[in-house]
Structure 1
Amino acid sequence: MKRILPLFFFLLLLFTGCGGSAADNSYQQITQEKAKEMMDTQEVIVLDVREQNEYDSGHIPGAVLLPVGTIDEDTAAAVIPEKDSTVLVYCRSGNRSKTASSALAELGYTNIYEFGGINSWPYETES
């Protein structure tokens, strides 16, 4: 019993000390209307996480391409140099943008906003 008690406390400290809250590495999901409002009133980085051919066929004006499968510390830093930049993330339908937003949050980016897909974007696009 004397051996089990210290082991129990060690495991308890390990699990509570190493676990961060879910809010530490998260992003916010917003509506497309809110994203458009932010684009019109703030300095933001609009991030398209689709593939090159999808981007070429049409994207939100001013959007920067960073395909979700290429996101790592280096590629993200090249497009988003400041970790506290406001970043609005979208894809085609909203699945890849969630994955990309989560990956960026895990890399330490703190102002990530995911707003779904371009297939339901009611505003201007360009090719």
Structure 2
Amino acid sequence: MRNLIILSFLLLSCFGNSQETLHELLKIHNKERIPYISVQELAMPKTNAILLDAREFKEYNVSHLEDAIHVGYDNFDLDTVIKSLPDTTSTIVVYCSVGIRSEDIAEQLKKKGYTNVYNLFGGIFEWKNNNFPVYNSEEKETDHVHAYSKDWSKWLLKGIKIYE
């Protein structure tokens, strides 16, 4: 019996622990044609960037980065963004929950000639995990963060997870 328990533990240790790092997760899902910017770099006072939130409106309403512009993902309208941001040399940081949807939106901007587009590494989850503030639909600081789904919520380590 003792050998069976040890064997079970070894098998679980080798095969059952499929928890990858955030870096590994992004490497699996992203093409990495858009450079990342870290949450620490974005939070620095000298970093002057236009923030685009590539999550759905219900996620944005729960919490978003200060002064972020909601552009969405499922209903993203590139023409609307181009009209509101005509300077293709502006520094733009696109974010979502962890950095997967935001890469898709950033790639569309890059294809249209935007030259300084970045993907926020780890998205709003990593932002909150590093104790940076997020804001609700009334522009008040909040601890609530839309966790996207139960599966993806494992990457959100701080704050109050909201799923609605």
TM-score (norm 1): 0.71
Flag the 1:85–1:70 CA change in 2: closer, same or farther, 3 A: farther
Deviations 1:80-106 (A, max 9, x none): 221111001100111101111111101
Higher relative contact order (CA 8 A, sep 6+): 1
2:40 is equivalent to residue 50 of structure 1: no
For these two proteins, the number of residue pairs brought into alignment is: 100
Q: Counterpart of 2:71?
A: 66
CA distance in 2, matches of 1:73, 1:97: 13
Flag the 1:104–1:71 CA change in 2: closer, same or farther, 3 A: farther
The one of 75, 81, 87 aligned to 2:86: 81
Q: Superposed, which structure 2 residues align to 1:10-21 within 5 Å?
A: none
Q: Identify the structure with the greater helix proportion.
A: 1
Q: Counterpart of 1:35?
A: 42
- Structure 2: stretches of 5+ with no match in the other structure: 1-32, 137-164
Q: In 1, are the aligned partners of 2:36 and 2:120 still within 8 Å (CA)? A: yes
Q: In 2, are the aligned partners of 1:27 and 1:110 still within 8 Å (CA)? A: no
Q: In 2, are the aligned partners of 1:89 and 1:101 still within 8 Å (CA)? A: yes
CA distance in 1, matches of 2:74, 2:97: 14
Q: Counterpart of 2:8?
A: none
Q: In 1, are the aligned partners of 2:52 and 2:70 still within 8 Å (CA)? A: yes
Runs of 4+ aligned residues of structure 1 deviating over 2 Å after TM superposition are 68-73
RMSD over aligned CA atoms reads 1.6
Q: Counterpart of 1:126?
A: 135
AA of the residue aligned to 2:110 = A
AA of the residue aligned to 2:118 = Y
Percent identical: 31
CA distance in 2, matches of 1:27, 1:91: 14
Q: CA deviation at 1:72?
A: 4.3
Flag the 1:119–1:42 CA change in 2: closer, same or farther, 3 A: closer
CA distance in 2, matches of 1:50, 1:73: 15
Q: Counterpart of 1:114?
A: 119
